[in-house]
Amino acid sequence: MTPAAPFDRVAESLLAFWAEAGIDAMLLDEPLDRIEAGKFVAPKPVDKKPPPPPPAGQVRAGPGGDIAAAVIEARRLAAEAKDLEALKAAIAGFDGCPLKFEGARQSVFCRGAADAPLMVIGEGPGAEEDARGEPFVGRAGQLLDKMLGAAGLKDRVFITNTVFWRPPGNRTPSPQEQATCLPFLERAIELVSPKMLLLVGAPSAKSMLKREEGILSLRGRWFEWRSEAGNLELPAMPTLHPAFLLRQPGAKKKAWSDLLTLTERLDRPDRGA
């Protein structure tokens, strides 16, 4: 018979499971023993005050806001950013992405080499990234770093996401939220000028390539990514998200094979497909 796991290990693993599923807050300030109370007590309704109006001249696309106007504003701000520092500041000051007003602590832009030959684009920040202000620094990020390191890409990547604020509960970012962040992402691609893109997970692959297939069909194949204005073009490869690999370790060999295919092309002098 297998000995029972100690209670603290069981509790720790359960908490980790919840945190990964995006459950990182209690409903009530004080714990409530519902068995003792003998009846269900509904949590207090959330105070749904509308956010204060944006300062004059600024666009805010909160729930029900004007996404088209926010995209135009994002394009203007992104075009004005002369370098990555200016772009980071422009993102932090932008009020047009609804996610900014849905509980995110701060904007999360990028990490890595400013002149990297490879740009990794994930889905969006999670809890750890929201707390630290950098992309891919949680468990999934650690696995991503290990894989990039093993492929010889450690200092040759620039890492970012399709959205720059954490979606509440780690839900998938909506196409509208991605659209308001896209001008900044495209400007980052222009400034870094990578040779190729690695699109990590379905929300990144589908939004960047405007494809509807699932990630299992997209992964490991080469696509040509094109910017909205058509002035930038790069080879792009979708692959599995490291958070998925943590849940399904059996899929790691597929992601590893994608990374090797990509590295082989990146290191080839002509970089042709």
Q: Which residues bind ligand URA (CB under 6 A)?
A: 122-126, 129, 135-136, 138, 140-141, 161, 201, 243
Nearer to ligand URA, 62 or 122 (CB): 122
Question: Do 255 and 240 meet the contact criterion of CB atoms below 8 Å apart?
Answer: yes
Closest approach, Cβ 231 to ligand URA, in A, equals: 26
Whole-number Å distance between alpha carbons of 218 and 230: 22
> Between β-strands 118-122 and 111-112, what pairing exists: parallel, antiparallel or unpaired?
unpaired
Closest approach, Cβ 204 to ligand URA, in A, equals: 7
Closest approach, Cβ 160 to ligand URA, in A, equals: 8
Burial of 7 (0-12, 13-18, 19+ CB in 10 A): exposed
What residue type is 133 in one-letter code? Answer: G
How crowded is residue 152: how many other Cβ atoms within 10 Å of its Cβ? Answer: 12
| Inter-CA distances, 112 with 117, 180, 181, 202, 218, Å | 11, 23, 19, 22, 26
Closest approach, Cβ 105 to ligand URA, in A, equals: 14
Nearer to ligand URA, 59 or 119 (CB): 119
Closest approach, Cβ 138 to ligand URA, in A, equals: 6
Nearer to ligand URA, 59 or 236 (CB): 236
Kindly report each contact of residues 139-147 with a partner whose C-beta sits within 8 Å and lies 24 or more positions away, as own/partner: 139/20, 139/243, 139/246, 140/241, 140/242, 140/243, 140/246, 141/242, 143/242, 143/245, 143/246, 144/120, 144/200, 144/242, 147/242, 147/255, 147/256, 147/259
Closest approach, Cβ 242 to ligand URA, in A, equals: 8
Whole-number Å distance between alpha carbons of 72 and 12: 46
Nearer to ligand URA, 51 or 103 (CB): 103
Closest CA to 132 of 113, 157, 107, 155: 107
Nearer to ligand URA, 66 or 134 (CB): 134
Nearer to ligand URA, 59 or 262 (CB): 262
Closest approach, Cβ 4 to ligand URA, in A, equals: 33
Nearer to ligand URA, 127 or 262 (CB): 127
Contacts of 243 (CB under 8 A, 6+ apart): 20, 126, 139, 140, 201
Nearer to ligand URA, 65 or 125 (CB): 125
Closest approach, Cβ 89 to ligand URA, in A, equals: 20
